[in-house]
Amino acid sequence: MQKIDRNMLHLHPTVRELCKTLQEELDERSHPGRLFEGFRSLDRQAELYAQGRTRPGHIVTHTRPGRSIHNYGLAIDMVLFINGKWSWQENGGLWEEMGTIGSSIGFTWGGTWSSFPDRPHFQWMGGLTINDLQNGKFPETDDQEWLNFINFQLTTRLVRKKNTKKILKELGYYDGEIDGIIDNETKKAIKKFQQAEELEDDGIVGPVTWHSLLEKAEETGIELFT
Residue 214 belongs to what domain range? 155-220
Number of domains in the chain: 2
Instruction: Please indicate, yes or no, whether residues 126 and 16 belong to a single structural domain of this protein.
Output: yes
**Residue 46, SS3?**
helix
Instruction: Please indicate, yes or no, whether residues 175 and 127 belong to a single structural domain of this protein.
Output: no
Would 171 be classed as within a structural domain?
yes
| 91-130 burial code (b ≥16 CB/10 A, e <16) | eeebbebbbebbeeeebebbbeeeeeebbbbbbbbeeeeb
Give the total residue count for the chain.
226
Instruction: Please indicate, yes or no, whether residues 89 and 31 belong to a single structural domain of this protein.
Output: yes
Instruction: Please indicate, yes or no, whether residues 116 and 14 belong to a single structural domain of this protein.
Output: yes
Would 2 be classed as within a structural domain?
no
In this structure, are residues 35 and 76 in contact, taking their beta carbons and an 8 Å threshold? Answer: yes
d(CA 213, CA 197): 10
Instruction: Please indicate, yes or no, whether residues 100 and 48 belong to a single structural domain of this protein.
Output: yes
For 105: left if phi > 0, alpha if psi spans -120 to 50, otherwise beta; the answer is alpha
Would 159 be classed as within a structural domain?
yes
Instruction: Please indicate, yes or no, whether residues 189 and 85 belong to a single structural domain of this protein.
Output: no
| Nearest-5° Cα angle at 164, 175 to 203 | 85
pTM attached to this predicted model: 0.82
**How high is the pLDDT of residue 203?**
95
Among residues 99, 134, 169, the one where a domain terminates is 134
Would 89 be classed as within a structural domain?
yes
Q: pLDDT 10s per residue in the chain (226 long)?
A: 679 999 999 999 999 999 999 999 999 999 999 999 999 999 999 999 999 999 999 999 999 998 999 999 999 999 999 999 999 998 889 999 999 999 999 999 999 999 889 999 999 999 999 999 988 899 999 999 999 999 999 988 889 999 999 999 999 999 999 988 889 999 999 999 999 999 999 999 999 999 999 999 999 999 998 8
**Residue 35, SS3?**
strand
Would 145 be classed as within a structural domain?
no
